[in-house]
Amino acid sequence: MTRKICGWLSTALNGLSGLCIFVGSCLMAFMLAAFGWLVFGRYVLNNTPTWVEQLSLVLICYIVFLGAAAGVRENTHLKVSFICQAMPAKVQWVLRLAVDLAVCAFGVVMFFACLELMAFGWDTKLPMLQVPESVRTLPVAICGALICLFAAARVLGRLERKEASEDAGIAPRSGIGD
């Protein structure tokens, strides 16, 4: 039963990570089109659309933070692993679990700190876009929640694999991307 739940959860989280990458990619294409409009407006129409720069700053926040959250799930962030790899298998497992727990805690702090920042900036409007400043900090809060979710799933996966390997009497294997 636990294996089915972990399989379903892994599939759902992979889909969520893929959605983050897809949305980030679409926003990147939209930002490219907006810059195309900026160049066209400036040099052809001689009427520069000034809102493009502010919009691009907001879009970059969404692109970067959605990509960062997906990077936690896909395990594509830069890391120094030679120290961990030099340790015995059991110590490696404990170190990887500790790192996953620390990343999860970071996601929680990031989420709640950004919720507070969003509440603080809700009444301030972004120039030229006339939307709340909190629109720029929303992706950071989303990223924190997703980082927490993805790291917690990795912790559960590590614990589930360790439990399964102990039941079978074999040494725990590393997870995909470890």
- Residue 87 is predicted with a pLDDT of 87
Give the model's pLDDT for residue 174.
47
Kindly state the tokens that stand for 36: 């195309």
Would you state the pLDDT for residue 176? 43
Average pLDDT value over all residues in the chain:
88
The model's confidence at residue 139, banded by pLDDT at 50, 70 and 90, is: very high
Q: Which pTM value belongs to this model?
A: 0.84
In which band, very low, low, confident or very high, does the pLDDT at 82 lie, cut at 50, 70 and 90? confident
Q: What percent of the chain has pLDDT over 70?
A: 89
140 or 5: whose pLDDT is higher?
Answer: 140
Taking the CA atoms of 41, 56, 71 and 135 in sequence, report the sign of the dihedral they define: negative
More confident position, 94 or 7 = 94
Q: How confident is the model at residue 164 (pLDDT cuts 50, 70, 90)?
A: low
Rounded mean pLDDT, 134-162:
93
3-state SS of the chain is CHHHHHHHHHHHHHHHHHHHHHHHHHHHHHHHHHHHHHHHHHHCCCCCCCHHHHHHHHHHHHHHHHHHHHHHHHCCCCCCCHHHHCCCHHHHHHHHHHHHHHHHHHHHHHHHHHHHHHHHHCCCECCCCCCECHHHHHHHHHHHHHHHHHHHHHHHHHHHHHHHHHHHCCCCCCCCCC
